[in-house]
Structure 1
């Protein structure tokens, strides 16, 4: 049976608030094999019955089921569009599958609204919350209603006393002066005939709150010094009328019961300051005052159809215990990012106060030093005797534990439930094997992603930093794209990468960039705020990775000038094709660094030039994909010259690398910079350096992500597994053995004796080294993208056995459907199960196979070290001797 299981719009199942016609795609399911779509039919309409169609494709004789670009369609603002698709494959015809999307505001001039604030100039130094509100009248029976909202700061929007939508921390963090997202909601069911009210609670957030880290003195008001709210509501009546309601100076404002809210320091809520019914019509409580307008460039507003932050996981408290120092502490059993919801009964004036933190010290006491200046506190004061349920709205914490400072009565685990907060992304990848430590590592990698993908890819979620460091985002991108549907997340953030580029094309260390022009007393950042190799290369590597994962050329088109600008920046600042520039992080926090230094031993000239070559090579591929023939020619020549210079500079006359570090050998091998005649010597050099460390890595941010790849790509799968499975310091599994539930910033964040690495930079939720997840999927599980047919249109399934694993399985939910690999190693015999989605093909490779005893209808041919076969879609099982 042939059926469409999902329709995707810009790779998401839901899109509310689009400012463009989304790309369309669909997933097919069939119980047959070798299913190839032969044709499709696509309709788009203004009604669910598809009588009022704005687009009819007719029967299109194509097998494309992704990246369908509908052209010549004129969309209207704040309108719901219904979509339906059916397909044909062989003699089968599917039923119609349906979905819908909603547009936002397609023309800036349509807003006709003002950013309004209840704050004044004196509020620049505070972090209080404010209300803004307005009564309005609905004059007739409502057919449909939509609202577009955003803020300078954070906001929650209400109609008739109820919060609209489930989003949190809206509108997120962008380079506000150049790019600000707005959210769109359907509010038909929120309205009633007659009198209504709408309003918002505003807080400082990233916009005017304290942001930075110690060296930046946690400065505030990076983008402005007054919070403000913007809204436009379109109400359409059954009789055909439309009425527009907007924010303007007729609204009123008042202080909210959120008397303090900051990203780093938490939230203080005083229920005694609540105004009952403040967002309901006719409210007469409070001392409401006139609001004022805030000037803002409306042209930087963009619609956000998906990819907003939500409460995602519910994590009940596991235990409450008393520390040796006498503190009462809640343990949630999992390091996470989010907030705690407290259910409690108290009386007027009672206070609930919790301080969140990540780990206990060696003696089992509360450990706060690694939070640096961050408070991570929440405080609630009761207005009256009652039972309450409270969670902070305008902050987030990185924590596993919470110290109870005050609580009415005896706290029980039932009083506390944690909720993770991160961008709403579908989980697309899974990994499991016979080694429980590796399973825990896979868990830690996933939770590291959850903890740091809070609207932007932060480095850490707990201390007074939480910035969008580009290096972390770059090295983890391939792993992230496997684990979660990150398309909307990265597409939004990459817009800010481009927005914050220098006129020359330099790429900021952190995006959004709050460092440039604000380095404060930080000794490191005074040397430069942008354009570090491996960090700035995010401008090229992340769009390329998204293209591989989704098969999406659109992201390449959108980011093309940004990518080109970055390559040109390196070219213009290189000297005879050796690239280096101001502050370089190099192989950051590598263990071969000098005592007391964060900088690894690999020379910056080498790492910078290696990335110069790598990004240029990727850019050539991208230019070729997009048909930019002039750029293909020019940058191919540039790449050739960089490689030649690299080889002349960093290999001596005997073919030995001049830098005798693990990372130097790794990047040379993985980036294709080794002269072929020296490849074996370079591989052996890496093996010697590995052996010198008793099989341990001493690499940092640059070398670690590619170490296992450099080994396995050069015939040393065993050594790659050995490296992965080390469980003493330094190794991935050392952290697992020490009880980690996320990935740490440092290999020995907690030392074997329980003492800590230096508290100034010791995050226990720092996803960067989780980049090993990419190797676990691409090599151990063997699920590999075919670069010539990306998006898993053609998949190479080639799992490598090793590590004494008895079995291993992984699955990825591609834009075409699930790709699965499950292998069992039975000694001289092995079994491989695979699933290939409909409308795709695959190459199946059997590692070390000598004879296939059960081929499941496929014809395998012998290759060096493996056997392979080509196949179409379906579920298969193979048994072979090795």
Structure 2
């Protein structure tokens, strides 16, 4: 981190929430050529930086969204090659998360009312001399071509106002004004831990047509997150209006799930050839309605730009069932779309918040698909900061915008809640298992322990966590559309099971780190397990509320003694069969139900549950054309109408957590030790599958399993990188330990 000399600056005119800032400077003479020039910059709002009109990077929406009260990330870019003897350093600002609309409560400017910037350019010459160019009162501010910008509502760009001259030396304009310095706490500045947000790929229009209402609609064939880039020539002052949505309903754009988010961009033409790209917003969409196009619509002039945190894809899976392959692809796209600087619930409506329950359920799946270690460790730093300020409470969302918006809306006042608050423990544990860096447990241990200690204070005299509000098995498919918390699974059973898991994991983390707290959390885990048995488990293995989720959690979290575990597994399988092998779980049970069935000898039942295509099921959305994971099992009804509940999203990864089971059980690739230094190769074919492949770029190198099943003979090809030992368990043969190399078995 540099020694800061810059000041925070704010333009004297807000310029419609999208001001430009510039500083012209000359390189100091007599020191030879520039050896290195590094720009450090951040903003209250979002920003893009330029040197002499050239973008300094491909990053967008920087510095992203962190808990700004405690952490403001800064960017660092090498700009050596962009400097000239007289140069212009420019910054373009937008509202972003800092001052734009956040939450469904309609709140704006939660973090501050003024947009501002902070930048420091450090130039080192060949003789070692250093020159600084910093934000201060010498800068000037002026208008951009952006008339409005908001993450939820979209962006308006007036190409008639576009001007590139502000990048050039000697520029002057009567529209430009001065800036003033503002209080800026440099102690909050922190480098990025995770990756920046960038344009990831581009998709063309695959179909365009005129709707029954006479609207021009385009389909990109994939539900995605980003914006449109449009190239167009038309009459000066004419306006093109673009509205975005994930689905169609009655052959028109299905906008009801957006709630109050306008998700609309407006482009005002200059009269010449224009290229519009609204980089101060983002939308979740597959379809767009385009109004006002001059002349005959040209679909080749419209491109969807996919935007996400830049994550390296590391895990792969495919098999002989095309529906399962599409389900897996849907999870990949849902992860990509919702991992936009923070792990969000959804990317399209008036929400887009870092809900803790979603990532608690999904972290193992995400950590296999992409290298998310830096991304989630950055988010966990925000979680810790928010938690310290709330006496150990892990909020419903991180960053905690609900707190700043005046409360949690229709939910009760925040208190620790199972799964959601358990993200403080489960997410770092998932990263430790996936990547093998003990540093994540060391960095997060105080946060992990603080969560469990707070829950310990909420327990009933019975030792159960059966008090207060719980999301429980959120979005159980049997719950009414307007009451997603009304699950069949008893909230106390769910919460107490989650406490046992968290206490056990914190105890294990303490052991690994050599922390004295191990005994305390071990004792709490034992007491919790005993209380669970005493109050919730009958001698015949029946668990209170007799719900699929309760059995799944009890089995996978190891809450049951051997004497009842198998009976509980048998009851779970019976419930699944009685339900016609349809899904009966929500956020709590869905990640674990197939594992619980597999662990208790009901592999065939697990496959029948996975391969069900009728609603509710994992594959029903696939049969309905889904290209991402849905928030509800029936976000779209069989007749093609949208679920009547006021809350539904078509890009919501949590219920896709079953892919973790697919990787480990179908693909047969699982860690035996953190970071895959020792692996288990144990494919368990079923469901009529004839082949499957799983691969992972692990911290030690590429792991891969490929198997085929023909005439009851399973053939597997296994690739193990150097330094890794694999335990191989194939049906019908003894366990085998193999070292690095390729093995055909």
Please state whether the residue corresponding to 2:48 is helix, strand or coil.
strand
**1:740 is paired with a residue of what secondary structure?**
coil
Aligned partner of 2:138 in structure 1 is 250
Moved more, 647-656 or 427-436: 647-656
* Aligned-residue offset at 1:775: 0.4
1:701 to 584, 587, 594: 587
Deviations 1:20-41 (A, max 9, x none): xxxxxxxxxxxxxxxxxxxxxx
TM-score normalized with structure 2 length = 0.97
| Residue 25 of structure 2 corresponds to residue 136 of structure 1 | yes
Instruction: Label 1:462 to 1:657 Cα distance change in 2 as closer, same or farther (>3 A).
Output: same
Secondary structure of the residue that 1:291 maps to in structure 2?
Answer: strand
Q: 1:869 aligned to 730, 736, 742, which one?
A: 736
What is the correspondence of 1:81-230 to structure 2 with a 5 Å cutoff?
A: 105-106=1-2, 110-119=3-12, 128-139=17-28, 140-192=32-84, 194-213=85-104, 216=105, 218-230=106-118
Aligned residues: 739
Counterparts of 1:850-861 in structure 2, within 5 Å, are 850=733
Greater alpha carbon shift after TM alignment, 647-656 vs 404-413? 647-656
Judge conservation of contact 1:119–1:227 (CA < 8 Å) in 2. Answer: no
Q: Do the aligned residues in 2 keep the contact of 1:531 with 1:581 (CA within 8 Å)?
A: no
Q: Is 2:451 the partner of 1:566?
A: yes
Any conservation in 2 of the 1:117–1:132 contact (CA below 8 Å)? no
Which of 461, 486, 493 is residue 379 of structure 2 equivalent to?
493
* Alignment correspondent of 1:782: 668
Shift of residue 592 of structure 1? 3.0
Aligned-partner SS, 1:705: coil
1:507-544: per-residue Cα shift (whole Å, max 9, x none)? 010000011253468322xx123421101111001101
Return the alpha-carbon distance in structure 2 between the equivalents of residues 712 and 655 of structure 1: 17
Deviation at 1:595, TM superposition (A): 7.1
Following superposition, the deviation at residue 279 of structure 1 comes to: 2.1
CA distance in 2, matches of 1:228, 1:764: 35
SS of the residue 1:578 aligns to: coil
Corresponding residue of 2:171:
283
Matching residue within 687, 690, 700 for 1:816: 700
Tell me how far apart the structure 1 counterparts of residues 460 and 12 of structure 2 sit (CA, whole Å): 52
Quote the Cα distance in structure 1 between the aligned partners of 2:107 and 2:146.
Answer: 21
Contact 2:22 2:88 in 1 (8 A): yes
The answer to whether 1:616 aligns with 2:493 is: no
- Counterpart position of 2:188: 300
Contact in 2 for aligned 1:183/1:305 (Cα 8 Å): no
1:435 to 321, 324, 339: 321
Higher mean alpha-carbon deviation, 590-599 vs 827-836, is at 590-599
Task: Compare 617-626 and 596-605 and name the one that shifted more.
Answer: 596-605
Give the Cα separation in 2 of the matches to 1:612 and 1:119.
52
Deviations 1:166-189 (A, max 9, x none): 001100001101111111000000
Q: Which moved more, 1:341-350 or 1:729-738?
A: 341-350
Mapped to 2, the partners of 1:469 and 1:306 lie a distance apart of: 18
**Residue in structure 1 matched with residue 261 of structure 2 by the alignment:** 374
Q: Deviations over 1:619-677 (max 9, x none)?
A: 1111111111x211111111100100111110135442122111111111111111221
Distance of 2:393 and 2:729 partners within structure 1: 42
Please tell me whether residue 273 in structure 1 is matched to residue 158 in structure 2: no
Secondary structure (helix, strand or coil) at the match of 2:528 reads helix
Once residues 521 and 470 of structure 1 are traced to their aligned partners in structure 2, the CA distance between those partners, rounded to angstroms, is 14
Corresponding residue for residue 59 of structure 1: none
In structure 1, what is the equivalent of residue 730 of structure 2?
846
Instruction: Summarize the Cα distance change of 1:312–1:517 in structure 2 as closer, same or farther, 3 Å threshold.
Output: closer
Q: Normalization by structure 1: what TM-score?
A: 0.82
> Whole-Å Cα distance in 1 between the matches of residues 152 and 655 of structure 2?
24
Structure 1 unaligned blocks of 5 or more: 1-104, 851-866
Q: CA deviation at 1:581?
A: 4.9
Q: Is the 8 A contact 1:515 1:529 kept in 2?
A: no
- Does the C-alpha gap of structure 1 residues 760 and 294 become closer, same or farther in structure 2, counting only changes over 3 Å? farther
CA distance in 2, matches of 1:796, 1:615: 24
For residue 652 of structure 1, give the secondary structure of its aligned residue in structure 2: coil
CA shift, 1:286, in A, is 4.7
Once the two structures are TM-superposed, the CA of residue 708 in structure 1 deviates from its matched residue by: 0.3
Q: Secondary structure at the residue paired with 2:674?
A: coil
Query: What's the C-alpha RMSD, in Å, of the aligned pairs?
Result: 1.5
2:653 counterpart of 1:807: no
3-state SS of 2:351 partner = coil
* Secondary structure at 2:685 match in 1: coil
- What SS is found at the alignment partner of 1:679? helix
1:833 counterpart = 2:717: yes
**Retained in 1: the 8 A contact 2:12–2:177?**
no
Deviation at 1:127, TM superposition (A): 5.6
CA distance in 1, matches of 2:206, 2:369: 26
Indicate how the Cα distance of structure 1 residues 421 and 521 shifts in structure 2: closer, same or farther if over 3 A, else same: closer
- Partners in 2 of 1:530 and 1:490 — Cα distance? 23
Query: Is the contact made by 1:127 and 1:204 (CA closer than 8 Å) also made in structure 2?
Result: no
Matching residue of 1:58: none
2:210 alignment partner, one of 310, 313, 322: 322
Q: Which has the larger displacement, 532-541 or 137-146?
A: 137-146
Aligned mate of 2:429, from 537, 544, 547: 544
| Residue among 654, 657, 664 paired with 1:771 | 657
Match of 1:353 among 230, 235, 241: 241
Query: What's 1:3 paired with?
Result: none
SS in 1 for 2:591: helix
Match of 1:461 among 347, 353, 361: 347
